[in-house]
Structures are given as structure tokens and as C-alpha cells.
């Protein structure tokens, strides 16, 4: 059972800070003290639409909480599932090998998540390349050799240590499952 289902479903929330309460009563603030998180928001009824963020401190977490959408499925990743480095020829070659590896995994097609943190230091611009040329096109939008994150598209892990996943309450404060 997800922590949020047990903690919030029994006591509907109201008021303007329902998103903040959902985030701040989770394990996320404690885990954030040990390092940054990459955050994936899957929008309810969004047909696969996502928002990506990088959160490094409690001020960023407050800003992120204010951005979350009603009913979204949100995952915070605190581990090394995303590689963070400059986009250099060496990184490009590593990504190409990773894409080739993924093509050999059943159900995968070589597509990775490739992200760049925006100037506001919270939002991420993300693309899903499956060949190195697509990655080149994406990073060409940024400064030379930009800092990027890349990795496999993540699942909804929720071990409370390396990843936390929960559903943001709807406008009435009730947690419901939605199609994503």
C-alpha cells in the first residue's frame, strides 16, 4: 500500500495547501536532506503527458508542491538511476551503448529519458531519444556541452529510500486513482 493512500484517504483535505501537505507529510523532505531528487509527474487524464523537475532543497520542494496537478502520480528518485554529466563525445558514446543495450531488453526499443535543468533550477526540459542523433538535436538547444541527466524511463518505485511515489489529492482532498 502506498503511504499516501493510508495517510490521506481516511482524512480528506481541504484548503489551499493540500498539495503542500501531500508532499511535506511524505518521506520526501527527510530524503531530500541527503541529496537531490529527480521528480516525474504523470498527469491524470494526460494521455502520457509528464512534467519533470529537479529538486535540491526544501525551498525547491515548496515551489514544486505548488506546481503539482490534481490527481497526478508523482515519483521522486533519490538514487543513481539517472546519470548526471556534461554532454560530451564520451557521454554521447555511453548513451549510444545504453540505447543499444535497451534495444536488447524485452519490451524496450532503445528510448531513454534525456533531460536538462531549466534556468529556474526546478523545471526540466526532457526528450525521449532512441538514437544518438536525436540526442544531439535535443542538446543543441542548450549551451555547448550542457549538463544533462539521462537514463531509462522509470517505473513507479516506492521503497521510501531510493524512490517515493504517491498520488496528489484531487481538489476535494481525496486521493483517487486516475488513468495516466
Taking only the tens place, the pLDDT of each residue in 27-59 is: 999 999 999 999 999 999 999 999 999 999 999
In this prediction, residue 179 carries a pLDDT of: 87
The band of 6, judged by pLDDT with boundaries at 50, 70 and 90, is very low
Q: For residues 84 and 42, is the Cβ–Cβ distance under 8 A?
A: no
Residues 59 and 109 in one domain: no
Residue 171 banded pLDDT, cuts 50, 70, 90: confident
- Quickly tell me which residue has 549510444 as its cell: 96
Question: Is 80 exceeded by the pLDDT of residue 2?
Answer: no
Domain presence at residue 113 = yes
Which strands, in side-by-side order, build the sheet including 123-127? 83-86, 147-151, 113-117, 123-127, 50-55, 37-42, 73-77, 163-167
The total number of structural domains in the chain stands at 2
Task: Give the C-alpha separation, 70 to 86, whole Å.
Answer: 34
Mean pLDDT (the chain, rounded):
90
Are the C-beta atoms of residues 55 and 37 closer than 8 Å to each other? yes
Burial 38-52 (b: 16+ CB within 10 A, else e): bbbbbbbebeeebbb
Sorted by sequence, the CB contacts under 8 Å of residue 130 that are 6+ apart come out as 99, 109, 110, 111, 112
Q: Are residues 89 and 146 in the same domain?
A: yes
pLDDT band, very low/low/confident/very high, at 8 (cuts 50, 70, 90)? very low
Same-domain status, 49 and 108? no
**Structural element, H or E, at residue 85:** strand 83-86
- Whether residue 74 lies inside any domain: the answer is yes
Q: By the 8 A CB rule, do 178 and 22 touch?
A: no
Once rounded to an integer, what is the mean pLDDT over residues 85-109?
A: 96
In this predicted structure, the answer to whether residue 117 has a pLDDT above a threshold of 70 is yes
- Reference 153, options 48, 29, 60; nearest CA is 48
Please determine, for residue 11, whether its predicted confidence score (pLDDT) is greater than 50. Answer: no
Q: Do 9 and 24 reside in the same domain of the chain?
A: yes
Q: Which of 72-86, 93-107, 109-123, 163-177 has the lowest mean pLDDT?
A: 163-177
Q: What's residue 3's pLDDT?
A: 38
- Note whether 75 and 94 are same-domain residues: no
Domain region containing 17? 3-80+155-167
Please indicate, yes or no, if residue 19 is contained in any of the structural domains: yes
Contact 100, 160 (CB under 8 A): no
Amino acid at each position: 500500500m502506498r503511504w499516501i493512500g493510508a495517510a490521506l484517504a481516511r482524512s480528506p483535505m481541504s484548503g489551499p495547501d493540500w498539495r503542500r501537505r501531500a508532499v511535506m507529510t511524505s518521506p520526501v523532505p527527510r530524503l531530500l536532506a541527503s541529496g537531490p531528487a529527480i521528480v516525474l509527474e504523470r498527469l491524470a487524464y494526460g494521455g502520457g503527458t509528464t512534467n519533470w523537475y529537479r529538486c535540491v532543497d526544501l525551498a525547491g520542494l515548496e515551489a514544486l508542491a505548488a506546481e503539482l496537478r490534481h490527481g497526478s502520480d508523482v515519483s521522486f528518485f533519490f538514487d543513481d538511476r539517472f546519470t548526471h554529466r556534461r554532454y560530451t563525445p564520451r557521454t554521447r558514446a555511453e548513451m549510444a551503448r545504453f540505447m543499444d543495450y535497451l534495444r536488447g531488453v524485452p519490451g524496450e526499443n532503445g528510448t531513454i529519458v534525456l533531460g536538462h535543468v531549466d534556468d529556474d533550477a526546478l523545471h526540466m526540459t526532457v526528450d525521449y531519444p532512441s538514437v544518438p542523433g536525436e540526442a544531439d538535436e535535443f542538446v543543441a538547444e542548450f549551451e555547448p556541452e550542457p549538463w544533462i541527466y539521462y537514463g531509462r524511463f522509470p517505473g513507479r518505485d516506492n521503497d521510501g529510500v531510493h524512490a517515493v511515489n504517491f498520488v496528489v489529492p484531487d481538489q476535494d482532498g481525496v486521493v483517487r486513482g486516475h488513468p495516466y
